[in-house]
Amino acid sequence: MTPDLIRDALRQVRYPGFSRDIVSFGLVKEVKCEPGMITVRIEVQTRDPKVPEQIFRDCHAILDVLPDAGTVKVDIEVKDAPAAAGLAGTVGKSSIPGVKRIIAVASGKGGVGKSTIAANLAVALAATGAKVGLCDCDLYGPSMAQMFGVNERPMANDQDEIIPLEAYGIQLMSMGFLLEDRSPVIVRGPMATRYTQQFLRQVAWQDLDYLVLDLPPGTGDIQLTIVQTVSVDGVVIVTTPQEVALIDARKAVSMFAKVNVPILGLIENMAWFECDAGKRYYLFGEAGGVREAEILNVPLLGRIPIDIATRERGDSGKPIALLPPEQSKVSAAFHDLADRLRALDS
Protein backbone atom coordinates (compact mmCIF):
# COMPACT_ATOMS: atom_id res chain seq x y z
CA MET A 1 0.00 0.00 0.00
CA THR A 2 1.35 3.46 -0.91
CA PRO A 3 -0.06 6.98 -0.62
CA ASP A 4 -0.34 7.11 -4.42
CA LEU A 5 -2.44 3.94 -4.51
CA ILE A 6 -4.70 5.36 -1.83
CA ARG A 7 -5.09 8.61 -3.71
CA ASP A 8 -5.98 6.64 -6.82
CA ALA A 9 -8.58 4.70 -4.88
CA LEU A 10 -10.05 7.97 -3.59
CA ARG A 11 -10.67 9.08 -7.14
CA GLN A 12 -13.78 6.93 -6.94
CA VAL A 13 -15.23 9.26 -4.30
CA ARG A 14 -17.33 11.93 -5.96
CA TYR A 15 -18.00 15.32 -4.47
CA PRO A 16 -21.65 14.99 -3.41
CA GLY A 17 -23.92 16.09 -6.25
CA PHE A 18 -21.11 16.36 -8.80
CA SER A 19 -19.46 14.07 -11.28
CA ARG A 20 -15.96 15.13 -10.22
CA ASP A 21 -13.97 13.31 -7.58
CA ILE A 22 -12.52 14.70 -4.40
CA VAL A 23 -8.91 14.15 -5.52
CA SER A 24 -9.21 16.21 -8.70
CA PHE A 25 -11.03 18.90 -6.71
CA GLY A 26 -7.88 19.14 -4.59
CA LEU A 27 -9.69 18.29 -1.35
CA VAL A 28 -7.36 15.47 -0.31
CA LYS A 29 -4.63 17.32 1.57
CA GLU A 30 -2.65 14.48 3.08
CA VAL A 31 -2.39 10.72 2.81
CA LYS A 32 -0.32 8.79 5.33
CA CYS A 33 0.42 5.13 5.11
CA GLU A 34 1.87 3.33 8.11
CA PRO A 35 1.90 -0.38 8.80
CA GLY A 36 -1.66 -1.31 9.79
CA MET A 37 -2.95 2.25 9.46
CA ILE A 38 -4.07 4.62 6.73
CA THR A 39 -4.74 8.26 7.55
CA VAL A 40 -6.37 10.61 5.09
CA ARG A 41 -6.85 14.31 5.69
CA ILE A 42 -9.49 16.08 3.66
CA GLU A 43 -10.48 19.73 3.62
CA VAL A 44 -13.86 20.92 2.38
CA GLN A 45 -15.25 24.39 2.17
CA THR A 46 -18.97 24.18 2.60
CA ARG A 47 -21.79 25.25 4.83
CA ASP A 48 -23.77 22.08 4.16
CA PRO A 49 -23.13 19.50 6.93
CA LYS A 50 -24.28 16.69 4.63
CA VAL A 51 -21.27 17.17 2.34
CA PRO A 52 -18.53 16.11 4.81
CA GLU A 53 -20.75 13.30 6.16
CA GLN A 54 -21.22 11.85 2.70
CA ILE A 55 -17.53 12.17 1.82
CA PHE A 56 -16.61 10.49 5.11
CA ARG A 57 -18.91 7.53 4.39
CA ASP A 58 -17.75 7.18 0.78
CA CYS A 59 -14.07 7.31 1.73
CA HIS A 60 -14.55 4.56 4.28
CA ALA A 61 -16.53 2.46 1.83
CA ILE A 62 -13.57 2.55 -0.57
CA LEU A 63 -10.63 2.43 1.85
CA ASP A 64 -11.92 -0.08 4.42
CA VAL A 65 -12.01 -2.85 1.85
CA LEU A 66 -8.52 -2.27 0.44
CA PRO A 67 -6.25 -5.26 1.05
CA ASP A 68 -3.97 -4.67 4.08
CA ALA A 69 -5.79 -1.46 4.91
CA GLY A 70 -5.74 -2.04 8.64
CA THR A 71 -7.24 0.87 10.54
CA VAL A 72 -8.57 3.63 8.34
CA LYS A 73 -8.78 7.13 9.71
CA VAL A 74 -10.55 9.79 7.65
CA ASP A 75 -10.18 13.30 9.08
CA ILE A 76 -12.35 15.89 7.46
CA GLU A 77 -11.77 19.51 8.22
CA VAL A 78 -14.70 21.71 7.31
CA LYS A 79 -13.61 25.22 6.53
CA ASP A 80 -16.04 28.03 6.43
CA ALA A 81 -16.68 28.92 2.82
CA PRO A 82 -15.53 32.41 1.85
CA ALA A 83 -18.39 34.72 2.51
CA ALA A 84 -20.60 35.73 -0.36
CA ALA A 85 -19.94 39.28 0.57
CA GLY A 86 -21.87 42.41 -0.04
CA LEU A 87 -20.45 45.87 -0.27
CA ALA A 88 -22.45 47.38 2.56
CA GLY A 89 -20.49 48.62 5.51
CA THR A 90 -17.32 49.44 3.71
CA VAL A 91 -18.28 52.90 2.48
CA GLY A 92 -15.55 55.45 2.66
CA LYS A 93 -12.76 52.98 3.31
CA SER A 94 -11.14 53.56 -0.06
CA SER A 95 -7.68 54.89 0.26
CA ILE A 96 -7.83 56.50 -3.16
CA PRO A 97 -8.99 60.10 -2.98
CA GLY A 98 -11.99 60.84 -5.17
CA VAL A 99 -13.21 57.23 -5.21
CA LYS A 100 -16.15 55.77 -3.25
CA ARG A 101 -15.94 52.10 -4.21
CA ILE A 102 -13.17 49.97 -5.62
CA ILE A 103 -14.13 46.76 -7.38
CA ALA A 104 -11.28 44.58 -8.57
CA VAL A 105 -11.61 42.17 -11.47
CA ALA A 106 -9.21 39.25 -11.14
CA SER A 107 -8.43 35.91 -12.69
CA GLY A 108 -6.08 33.16 -11.70
CA LYS A 109 -5.00 32.72 -15.28
CA GLY A 110 -4.38 34.95 -18.30
CA GLY A 111 -6.52 34.94 -21.42
CA VAL A 112 -9.83 34.11 -19.75
CA GLY A 113 -11.34 37.48 -20.65
CA LYS A 114 -10.68 39.41 -17.45
CA SER A 115 -9.98 42.70 -19.24
CA THR A 116 -12.99 42.23 -21.49
CA ILE A 117 -15.18 41.74 -18.42
CA ALA A 118 -13.60 44.71 -16.60
CA ALA A 119 -14.12 47.01 -19.61
CA ASN A 120 -17.73 45.99 -20.15
CA LEU A 121 -18.53 46.06 -16.47
CA ALA A 122 -17.25 49.65 -16.32
CA VAL A 123 -19.41 50.61 -19.31
CA ALA A 124 -22.48 48.89 -17.86
CA LEU A 125 -21.97 50.48 -14.41
CA ALA A 126 -21.71 53.88 -16.08
CA ALA A 127 -24.98 53.18 -17.89
CA THR A 128 -26.71 52.91 -14.49
CA GLY A 129 -25.84 56.58 -13.94
CA ALA A 130 -22.80 55.99 -11.74
CA LYS A 131 -19.53 57.84 -12.27
CA VAL A 132 -17.02 55.18 -13.19
CA GLY A 133 -13.29 54.88 -13.63
CA LEU A 134 -11.33 51.96 -14.98
CA CYS A 135 -7.74 51.31 -14.11
CA ASP A 136 -5.71 48.76 -16.02
CA CYS A 137 -3.00 47.59 -13.63
CA ASP A 138 -1.42 45.05 -15.94
CA LEU A 139 2.14 46.19 -16.41
CA TYR A 140 2.97 43.31 -18.72
CA GLY A 141 -0.08 43.21 -20.93
CA PRO A 142 -2.11 46.40 -20.70
CA SER A 143 -5.10 46.23 -23.01
CA MET A 144 -7.46 49.07 -22.16
CA ALA A 145 -5.99 51.44 -24.75
CA GLN A 146 -7.13 49.01 -27.42
CA MET A 147 -10.45 48.16 -25.80
CA PHE A 148 -11.44 51.83 -25.55
CA GLY A 149 -9.69 53.07 -28.67
CA VAL A 150 -7.64 55.68 -26.81
CA ASN A 151 -3.93 55.93 -26.89
CA GLU A 152 -2.82 59.38 -25.91
CA ARG A 153 -0.28 60.11 -23.29
CA PRO A 154 -2.08 61.49 -20.26
CA MET A 155 -1.23 64.92 -18.83
CA ALA A 156 -0.19 65.66 -15.27
CA ASN A 157 -1.83 68.25 -13.00
CA ASP A 158 -0.08 70.76 -10.71
CA GLN A 159 0.35 68.14 -8.00
CA ASP A 160 2.14 65.88 -10.45
CA GLU A 161 -0.80 63.48 -10.55
CA ILE A 162 -1.79 61.83 -13.79
CA ILE A 163 -5.09 63.03 -15.22
CA PRO A 164 -7.07 60.03 -16.48
CA LEU A 165 -8.14 59.97 -20.12
CA GLU A 166 -11.83 59.66 -20.85
CA ALA A 167 -13.88 57.49 -23.19
CA TYR A 168 -17.67 57.00 -23.22
CA GLY A 169 -17.86 59.02 -19.98
CA ILE A 170 -15.50 56.63 -18.20
CA GLN A 171 -12.27 57.86 -16.65
CA LEU A 172 -9.53 55.61 -17.91
CA MET A 173 -6.03 54.94 -16.78
CA SER A 174 -3.75 52.22 -18.00
CA MET A 175 -0.13 51.47 -17.49
CA GLY A 176 -0.18 51.14 -21.27
CA PHE A 177 -0.72 54.91 -21.61
CA LEU A 178 2.60 55.49 -19.88
CA LEU A 179 4.71 53.13 -21.93
CA GLU A 180 6.82 54.65 -24.64
CA ASP A 181 6.03 51.94 -27.14
CA ARG A 182 4.58 48.47 -27.19
CA SER A 183 7.82 46.70 -26.38
CA PRO A 184 7.60 44.27 -23.48
CA VAL A 185 8.22 45.89 -20.16
CA ILE A 186 11.35 44.59 -18.56
CA VAL A 187 10.59 45.76 -15.05
CA ARG A 188 10.50 42.72 -12.79
CA GLY A 189 9.92 41.71 -9.20
CA PRO A 190 10.14 44.43 -6.56
CA MET A 191 10.50 47.15 -9.20
CA ALA A 192 7.25 46.10 -10.79
CA THR A 193 5.53 46.12 -7.42
CA ARG A 194 6.84 49.56 -6.56
CA TYR A 195 5.94 50.92 -9.96
CA THR A 196 2.39 49.57 -9.65
CA GLN A 197 1.96 51.07 -6.17
CA GLN A 198 3.17 54.43 -7.35
CA PHE A 199 0.88 54.25 -10.33
CA LEU A 200 -2.15 53.51 -8.12
CA ARG A 201 -1.46 56.44 -5.84
CA GLN A 202 -0.79 59.00 -8.53
CA VAL A 203 -3.93 59.14 -10.60
CA ALA A 204 -6.24 62.12 -10.11
CA TRP A 205 -9.63 60.38 -10.23
CA GLN A 206 -12.55 62.79 -10.26
CA ASP A 207 -15.50 61.98 -7.95
CA LEU A 208 -15.94 58.33 -8.81
CA ASP A 209 -18.76 56.15 -7.51
CA TYR A 210 -16.87 53.08 -8.75
CA LEU A 211 -13.32 52.43 -9.72
CA VAL A 212 -12.96 49.13 -11.54
CA LEU A 213 -9.45 47.73 -11.20
CA ASP A 214 -8.37 45.35 -13.92
CA LEU A 215 -5.78 43.34 -12.00
CA PRO A 216 -2.93 41.52 -13.69
CA PRO A 217 -3.68 37.79 -14.10
CA GLY A 218 -2.44 35.44 -11.43
CA THR A 219 -2.13 35.24 -7.68
CA GLY A 220 1.34 36.58 -7.02
CA ASP A 221 3.03 39.50 -5.33
CA ILE A 222 1.66 42.17 -7.61
CA GLN A 223 -1.98 41.21 -7.01
CA LEU A 224 -1.38 41.10 -3.27
CA THR A 225 0.39 44.44 -3.33
CA ILE A 226 -2.47 46.05 -5.17
CA VAL A 227 -5.16 44.84 -2.78
CA GLN A 228 -3.02 45.90 0.13
CA THR A 229 -2.15 49.29 -1.33
CA VAL A 230 -5.73 50.34 -1.92
CA SER A 231 -8.64 49.14 0.10
CA VAL A 232 -10.61 47.06 -2.36
CA ASP A 233 -14.33 46.74 -1.53
CA GLY A 234 -14.75 43.48 -3.37
CA VAL A 235 -13.35 41.30 -6.08
CA VAL A 236 -15.00 39.64 -9.04
CA ILE A 237 -13.19 36.56 -10.30
CA VAL A 238 -13.31 35.64 -13.96
CA THR A 239 -12.84 32.09 -15.18
CA THR A 240 -13.68 29.96 -18.17
CA PRO A 241 -15.41 26.63 -17.60
CA GLN A 242 -12.16 24.82 -18.37
CA GLU A 243 -10.45 22.83 -15.64
CA VAL A 244 -7.09 24.63 -15.94
CA ALA A 245 -8.82 27.97 -15.47
CA LEU A 246 -10.95 26.70 -12.59
CA ILE A 247 -7.92 25.47 -10.68
CA ASP A 248 -6.42 28.94 -10.90
CA ALA A 249 -9.71 30.67 -10.11
CA ARG A 250 -9.82 28.60 -6.93
CA LYS A 251 -6.34 29.83 -6.01
CA ALA A 252 -7.50 33.39 -6.60
CA VAL A 253 -10.55 32.91 -4.37
CA SER A 254 -8.42 31.53 -1.58
CA MET A 255 -5.81 34.28 -1.94
CA PHE A 256 -8.40 37.08 -1.69
CA ALA A 257 -10.18 35.34 1.18
CA LYS A 258 -6.86 35.17 3.05
CA VAL A 259 -6.27 38.89 2.73
CA ASN A 260 -9.89 39.62 3.65
CA VAL A 261 -10.99 41.05 0.34
CA PRO A 262 -14.69 40.20 -0.01
CA ILE A 263 -15.34 37.88 -2.94
CA LEU A 264 -18.31 39.31 -4.79
CA GLY A 265 -18.58 36.24 -6.99
CA LEU A 266 -17.44 34.35 -10.06
CA ILE A 267 -18.09 35.12 -13.70
CA GLU A 268 -18.00 32.26 -16.15
CA ASN A 269 -16.70 33.70 -19.42
CA MET A 270 -16.60 31.86 -22.75
CA ALA A 271 -19.35 29.67 -21.28
CA TRP A 272 -20.56 28.46 -24.69
CA PHE A 273 -20.76 29.41 -28.33
CA GLU A 274 -24.22 29.65 -29.88
CA CYS A 275 -24.45 29.09 -33.63
CA ASP A 276 -26.97 30.86 -35.87
CA ALA A 277 -29.35 27.92 -35.50
CA GLY A 278 -29.36 28.49 -31.73
CA LYS A 279 -27.43 25.34 -30.80
CA ARG A 280 -24.94 25.82 -27.99
CA TYR A 281 -21.45 24.37 -28.14
CA TYR A 282 -19.59 24.14 -24.87
CA LEU A 283 -16.10 24.63 -26.23
CA PHE A 284 -14.37 24.76 -22.86
CA GLY A 285 -16.64 22.29 -21.08
CA GLU A 286 -20.12 22.79 -19.71
CA ALA A 287 -20.94 24.81 -16.61
CA GLY A 288 -17.51 24.51 -14.95
CA GLY A 289 -17.92 27.99 -13.47
CA VAL A 290 -21.42 27.23 -12.20
CA ARG A 291 -20.20 24.17 -10.32
CA GLU A 292 -17.12 25.94 -9.02
CA ALA A 293 -19.21 28.79 -7.61
CA GLU A 294 -21.37 26.24 -5.81
CA ILE A 295 -18.38 24.42 -4.40
CA LEU A 296 -16.67 27.60 -3.28
CA ASN A 297 -19.99 28.88 -2.02
CA VAL A 298 -19.67 32.23 -3.77
CA PRO A 299 -22.32 33.77 -6.00
CA LEU A 300 -22.20 33.12 -9.73
CA LEU A 301 -22.55 36.65 -11.03
CA GLY A 302 -22.93 35.87 -14.70
CA ARG A 303 -22.26 33.59 -17.65
CA ILE A 304 -20.93 35.22 -20.79
CA PRO A 305 -20.87 33.24 -24.05
CA ILE A 306 -18.11 33.34 -26.63
CA ASP A 307 -19.32 35.93 -29.01
CA ILE A 308 -17.77 37.25 -32.19
CA ALA A 309 -19.18 40.77 -31.77
CA THR A 310 -17.75 40.93 -28.25
CA ARG A 311 -14.29 40.15 -29.57
CA GLU A 312 -14.61 42.48 -32.57
CA ARG A 313 -15.93 45.37 -30.54
CA GLY A 314 -13.23 44.83 -27.93
CA ASP A 315 -10.55 44.99 -30.61
CA SER A 316 -12.01 48.11 -32.19
CA GLY A 317 -12.39 50.16 -29.03
CA LYS A 318 -16.19 49.92 -28.67
CA PRO A 319 -17.04 47.52 -25.81
CA ILE A 320 -20.17 45.43 -26.48
CA ALA A 321 -21.92 46.79 -23.37
CA LEU A 322 -22.30 50.12 -25.23
CA LEU A 323 -25.04 48.40 -27.26
CA PRO A 324 -28.54 48.61 -25.79
CA PRO A 325 -29.22 45.34 -23.91
CA GLU A 326 -32.11 44.48 -26.25
CA GLN A 327 -29.70 44.43 -29.19
CA SER A 328 -27.21 42.01 -27.72
CA LYS A 329 -27.57 39.17 -25.22
CA VAL A 330 -23.97 39.68 -24.15
CA SER A 331 -24.53 43.36 -23.53
CA ALA A 332 -27.65 42.41 -21.53
CA ALA A 333 -25.55 40.03 -19.43
CA PHE A 334 -23.11 42.85 -18.59
CA HIS A 335 -25.96 45.19 -17.67
CA ASP A 336 -27.38 42.48 -15.38
CA LEU A 337 -23.97 42.14 -13.80
CA ALA A 338 -23.77 45.88 -13.17
CA ASP A 339 -27.27 45.84 -11.65
CA ARG A 340 -26.29 43.00 -9.33
CA LEU A 341 -23.19 44.84 -8.15
CA ARG A 342 -25.13 48.05 -7.62
CA ALA A 343 -27.73 46.13 -5.65
CA LEU A 344 -24.99 45.09 -3.21
CA ASP A 345 -24.64 48.73 -2.33
CA SER A 346 -28.21 49.25 -1.26
What is the β-pairing status of strands 234-239 and 300-306? unpaired
User: Is the Cβ of residue 164 or residue 305 nearer to ligand ADP in the bound state?
Assistant: 305
Least distance to ligand ADP from the beta carbon of 327, Å?
16
Least distance to ligand ADP from the beta carbon of 217, Å?
6
User: Is the Cβ of residue 140 or residue 195 nearer to ligand ADP in the bound state?
Assistant: 140
Residue nearest to ligand ADP (CB): 113
User: Is the Cβ of residue 52 or residue 113 nearer to ligand ADP in the bound state?
Assistant: 113
Q: How far is CA 137 from the centre of its chain?
A: 15
Count of Cβ atoms closer than 10 Å to residue 260 Cβ: 11
Which H or E run contains 265? strand 263-274
Residue 25, C-beta contacts closer than 8 angstroms, at least 6 positions apart: 15, 295
Least distance to ligand ADP from the beta carbon of 222, Å?
14
Alpha carbons 220 and 252: distance in angstroms, whole number: 9
Least distance to ligand ADP from the beta carbon of 273, Å?
8
Q: Is 120 strand, coil or helix?
A: helix
User: Is the Cβ of residue 116 or residue 196 nearer to ligand ADP in the bound state?
Assistant: 116
Residue 208, C-beta contacts closer than 8 angstroms, at least 6 positions apart: 98, 99, 100, 101, 131, 132, 133, 171
Least distance to ligand ADP from the beta carbon of 199, Å?
18
Alpha carbons 231 and 272: distance in angstroms, whole number: 34
Least distance to ligand ADP from the beta carbon of 114, Å?
3
Residues forming the site for ligand ADP (CB under 6 A): 107, 110-116, 143, 217, 269-270, 304, 306-307, 310-311, 314
* Inter-CA distances, 274 with 50, 256, 279, 330, 332, Å: 37, 33, 5, 12, 16
In the chain, alpha helices (H):
3-10, 50-63, 114-127, 144-148, 175-178, 189-201, 221-229, 243-258, 288-296, 308-315, 329-345
User: Is the Cβ of residue 52 or residue 176 nearer to ligand ADP in the bound state?
Assistant: 176
User: Is the Cβ of residue 74 or residue 321 nearer to ligand ADP in the bound state?
Assistant: 321
User: Is the Cβ of residue 114 or residue 342 nearer to ligand ADP in the bound state?
Assistant: 114
Least distance to ligand ADP from the beta carbon of 211, Å?
17
